[in-house]
Structure 1
Amino acid sequence: MALHRRAVLLFLLVILMLSGTVLGPRSAHATTQTETCQSFNVPVTLGGILLSTPATIYGELCNPVGGPSHTVQLLVPGGTYGHIYWDFPYQPLNYSYVHALTAAGYSTFNIDRIGTGRSSHPPIGLLTVTMNTNAYVVHQIVQALRNGNIGNHSFGRVLLVGHSLGSVTCWIEAGIYHDVDGVIITGLLHHLNSVSLAGVVATLYPATLDPRFANKLLNVNYAGYLTTEPGTRGKDFYYVPGADPNVLQTDEATKETATPGEFDSFAVPIVDGISTLINVPVLVVVGQKDDLFCGIAATDCTSAATIRQAEAPFYSPKAQLQVVAIPEAGHDINLHKTAPLWFAAAKAWASQHLAP
């Protein structure tokens, strides 16, 4: 009898692995009650002859209190960030995109990229995660959302929302697979400020040397992963006068990793024309103080008009490109005091093109 029970348990575990594991409900922010959330581990593969390794993507599906919407927003974080970027725990009324958009009636699926947070961490020595890897994984998540494999609800429309490196992923996914209905690009333009970018790269070091990941020192799945040195995120990603010091502290405490392959392949989609292949509406949002993409040697970010003039040649007419410039904000537009301005812009644009 005991052997029979073990066999049944093993069978159930296999079913969970194959169908997208439900990790149970995650409480909505106690002060808001605008959404109900569940956590999932979604099975994916990493693509390519040598990259067929099975893996899982951790994500949190948050629905409005009235139930799932017709349109789901798939949120893709940037380098050294995980799902917390989109659902920031400090003062969520000000800094949580998830809260703002579920309050507007949208479902959101907020993920850790492959190699970050609670998603699988492929060993770097055997496997290099690149931007194309990320795009292929996100493509599978899009299909899972459409097919009802996440939350037992088939979403009719999928809106991709990316930040920085996650925005590059959205370019590639939308440009190659053509299976989404709209794209919001944040923290990414087609002209880089090479000096500022070099400054960010200079702050990267092995994640296992960082206090946050010290317990992973002997974990082969973390070997080769990178993060930012302690105390550098303000300079790297913020317009500090426009940020709450408590946000910076929370950011440091919750920071994530990235791979050398992601950084090595980050710039290619900026110049290879992939964004011109996007055939659905696109919104580009950038902080006016984003030193990674704004400045004399990069893009004039003084207004939405100047940004659009610089970006329009990189999108097709089908993109119906719209641009928003957020004042007093650096690279991490979610995490500046003016974040509610961008959340409002996202709600207005999404309701115009892809109503809940």
Structure 2
Amino acid sequence: MPLHHRAVLFFLLIILVLSGTMLGPRSAHAATQTDTCQAFNVPVTLDDILSTPATIYGELCNPASGASHTVQLLVPGGTYGHIYWNFPYQPQNYSYVHALTAAGYSTFNIDRIGIGKSSHPPIGLLTVSMNTNAYVVHQIIQALRSGNIGNQPFDRVLLVGHSLGSVISWIEAGTYHDVDGVIITGLLHHLNATSLAGVVATLYPATLDPRFANQLLNLNYTGYLTTEPGTRGSDFYYVPGADPNVLATDEATKETATPGEFASFATPIVDGISLQINVPVLVVVGQKDALFCGLLATDCTSAATIQQAEAPYYSSQAQLQVAAIPEAGHDINLHKTAPSWFAIASAWASQHVAP
């Protein structure tokens, strides 16, 4: 194993030390509704052995003309929830949901297990890992196809992930083979271990953070992690390319992650699961993504250099295409250049998985 991969595994294991049957079809229950979006609490299980029940919160948004034949299932990254994909500040610039519904796609935008309005399993009793998340996302895909969400079955599902959510997308698509295309953002196969260690250093118990202070006595939040106040800019942004109001909104709406997710983050990067994906794949990263770009990681100066580095990790069936977003760091949705990446996503999706 390359030295930087061993270093990543070491740092992720530090987090763990410091922090201490497929479900049959059921209908999702609508929670709230707006003009274009409807919220659902979708019943799932966390495993196929104990069938531990849980619910996933998600928002189904359709184009003005009605539901499309393809739905894009959006999976956020660590310490982010569904707001990452449907950002409330200047949504005309920063909302992927806004851009892709305008392009004719339905979207289903979720909070992962342990995030936002989804179930928060007690960390002391259950380990929420990458595989747990992939199993849950698999159930969501089946529910979307069967019409159990919104009473509208979708013919095609395009899986879209960001960062930790992209790792989940690798595992889901490479294991279950039930999607028609995959968009991977904020994730490459070579990591900048130094930058990752910097992010790890900013993590601390969520119950100590002002945003989650009201959960201090909630045992289901004990053991969950978030970023220390004021660190998201250095963790996830190329600050010169970001609006300060975006950073403030991000801080105010940040979410949690589990030690099990971070501890199992690195394994799929080195175990070859992405080679098992047999549908078209688009990989998109910011050229200034400090977590994956740089001398000790990937040369992100162009799409061509990224393509050369990533191609060995995908099959020919993936028909891999790559995009590099200028003036953007890790959170490509939340930089000023976000509209350019949304346009790339729309064009690629229309070519490979039409609405």
Shared fold, TM over 0.5: yes
Q: Which amino acid in 2 is paired with 1:302? A: T
Distance, in Å, in 1 between the alignment partners of 2:79 and 2:224 is 10
Alignment RMSD (CA, Å): 0.9
Match of 1:192 in 2: 191
Match of 1:42 in 2: 42
Structure showing greater Rg: 1
Q: Does residue 1:23 correspond to 2:22, yes or no?
A: no
CA contact (8 A) 2:26 2:148 kept: no
Match of 2:160 in 1: 161
Q: How many equivalent pairs are there? A: 331
Distance, in Å, in 1 between the alignment partners of 2:138 and 2:94 is 27
SS class of match (2:274): helix
CA deviation string 1:211-265 (max 9, x = no partner): 0000000000000000000000000000000000000000000000000000000
CA deviation string 1:108-128 (max 9, x = no partner): 000000000000000000001
Unaligned runs of 5+ in 1: 1-16, 28-35
Q: Does residue 1:61 correspond to 2:60, yes or no?
A: yes
Distance, in Å, in 1 between the alignment partners of 2:73 and 2:26 is 21
Distance, in Å, in 2 between the alignment partners of 1:168 and 1:251 is 22
Match of 2:215 in 1: 216
Q: Percent identity?
A: 84
C-alpha deviation, 1:24, in angstroms: 2.8
Unaligned runs of 5+ in 2: 1-24
SS class of match (1:19): coil
CA contact (8 A) 2:28 2:150 kept: no
C-alpha deviation, 1:48, in angstroms: 4.5
Q: Which amino acid in 2 is paired with 1:318? A: Q
Q: Which amino acid in 2 is paired with 1:124? A: I
C-alpha deviation, 1:19, in angstroms: 2.0
Distance, in Å, in 2 between the alignment partners of 1:97 and 1:300 is 26
Match of 2:248 in 1: 249
C-alpha deviation, 1:53, in angstroms: 1.3
CA deviation string 1:114-167 (max 9, x = no partner): 000000000000001000000000000000000000011110000000000000
Match of 1:203 in 2: 202
Match of 1:295 in 2: 294
Q: Which amino acid in 2 is paired with 1:44? A: V
Distance, in Å, in 1 between the alignment partners of 2:343 and 2:223 is 39
Which of the pair has the greater relative contact order for Cα pairs under 8 Å at 6+ separation? 2
C-alpha deviation, 1:18, in angstroms: 4.6
Match of 1:273 in 2: 272
TM-score (normalizing by structure 1): 0.92
Match of 2:15 in 1: none
Q: Which amino acid in 2 is paired with 1:166? A: G
TM-score (normalizing by structure 2): 0.92
CA deviation string 1:157-184 (max 9, x = no partner): 0000000000000000000000000000
Q: Which amino acid in 1 is paired with 2:329? A: G
SS class of match (2:97): helix
Q: What is the correspondence of 1:125-164 to structure 2 with a 5 Å cutoff?
A: 125-164=124-163
